[in-house]
């Protein structure tokens, strides 16, 4: 095996490790400094006219493990940077909730308790260590995910949340595996689909996009996450 090949593979391993850490695998604290990619994404999502009309965004993936929660966290941080906006993160992934770990808040009462027990947002919202970013966890209770999504109070709860922040990012489970995201998507101003580069089959990504559109939701963008570069950055810049 050539030394060049070994060097390229080492560079790929380091790149994959860095990206994994950035999106919260295995759930370390949120990085202090955001990447340029997330600030560019913020600019595209909330530029000019778009930023005036979109207040709630559902962040969803096609499959498990594509980094949806990490993307939601870093988008929230980028949006709140330097006091630009007051942002709320809501964990609607009632299957495998993780925002409480990634944002280092307590996994106490949250969205489930608002739906099942009539709790107000003010009773369950928590301030995170990131200035300008508040968190509502998935919460706890006897209702399972389907019962929560089908509950008539869910629409009211989601609508109420928009009053407590300038922009709200809501983390949801994979759209191709569970009905949750398909039920929630039409309630939001927009949906961002997260796809893992080099891993998610194109057919699955296309199906996820189609399923979102079939709900009548506003699919405002797709994030290609965990992009892998097999050529070291220094070499990549030289060859354009």
pLDDT reported for residue 209 = 93
pLDDT reported for residue 200 = 86
Domain annotation for the chain: domains and CATH numbers: 3-239 (3.40.50.300)
Can you tell me the distance from the alpha carbon of 190 to that of 216, in angstroms, rounded to the nearest whole number?
A: 10
Place of tokens 């891993």: 199
The pLDDT tens digits along the chain (240 residues) read 454 445 444 544 444 444 334 333 333 333 323 456 667 777 766 664 444 578 899 999 999 988 899 889 988 988 888 677 899 999 999 999 999 988 989 878 999 999 999 999 999 999 998 999 999 999 988 788 888 888 889 988 988 887 889 899 999 999 999 999 999 999 999 999 998 887 888 899 999 999 999 999 999 888 888 765 544 555 445 444
pLDDT reported for residue 47 = 61
Can you tell me the distance from the alpha carbon of 74 to that of 71, in angstroms, rounded to the nearest whole number?
A: 5
pLDDT reported for residue 233 = 52
pLDDT reported for residue 31 = 32
- Structure-derived torsion over alpha carbons of residues 180, 79, 97, 120, reported in degrees to the nearest 10: -80
Secondary structure of the chain in the HEC alphabet?
Answer: CCHHHHHHHHHHHHHHHHHHHHCCCCCCCCCCCCCHHHHHHHHHHCCHHHHHHCCEEEEEECCCCCCHHHHHHHHHHHHHHHHCCCEEEEECCCCCCCHHHHCCCCCCCCHHHHHHHCCCHHHHCEECCCCCEEEECCCCCCCCHHHHHHCCHHHHHHHHHHHHCCEEEEECCCCCCCCHHHHHHHHCCEEEEEEECCCCCHHHHHHHHHHHHHCCCCEEEEEEECCCCCCCHHHHHHHC
Can you tell me the distance from the alpha carbon of 83 to that of 174, in angstroms, rounded to the nearest whole number?
A: 31
Per-residue b or e along 83-108, where b marks 16 or more CB atoms closer than 10 Å to that residue's CB: eebbbbbbbbbbeebbbbbbbbbebe
Q: Global pTM?
A: 0.77
């Amino acid at each position: 095996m050539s030394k060049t090949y070994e060097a390229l593979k080492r560079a790929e391993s380091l790149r994959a490790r860095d990206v994994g850490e950035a999106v919260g695998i295995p759930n370390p604290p949120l990085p202090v400094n955001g990447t340029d990619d997330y600030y560019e994404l913020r600019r595209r999502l909330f530029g000019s006219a778009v930023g005036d009309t979109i207040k709630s965004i559902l962040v969803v993936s096609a499959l498990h493990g594509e980094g949806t929660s990490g993307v939601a966290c870093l988008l929230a941080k980028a949006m709140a940077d330097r006091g630009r906006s007051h942002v709320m993160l809501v964990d609607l992934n009632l299957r495998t909730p993780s925002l409480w770990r990634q944002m280092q808040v307590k996994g106490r009462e949250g969205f489930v308790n608002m739906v099942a027990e009539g709790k107000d947002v003010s009773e369950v919202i928590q301030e995170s260590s990131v200035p300008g970013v508040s968190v509502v966890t998935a919460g706890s209770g006897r209702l399972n995910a389907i019962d929560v999504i089908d509950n008539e109070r869910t629409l009211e709860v989601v609508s109420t949340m928009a009053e407590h922040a300038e922009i709200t990012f809501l983390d949801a489970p994979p759209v191709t595996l569970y009905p949750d995201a398909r039920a929630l998507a039409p309630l939001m101003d927009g949906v961002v689909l997260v796809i893992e580069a080099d891993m998610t089959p194109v057919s699955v990504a296309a199906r996820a996009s189609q399923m979102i559109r079939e709900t009548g939701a506003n699919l405002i963008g797709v994030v290609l996450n965990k992009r892998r570069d097999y050529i070291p950055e220094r070499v990549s810049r030289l060859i354009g």
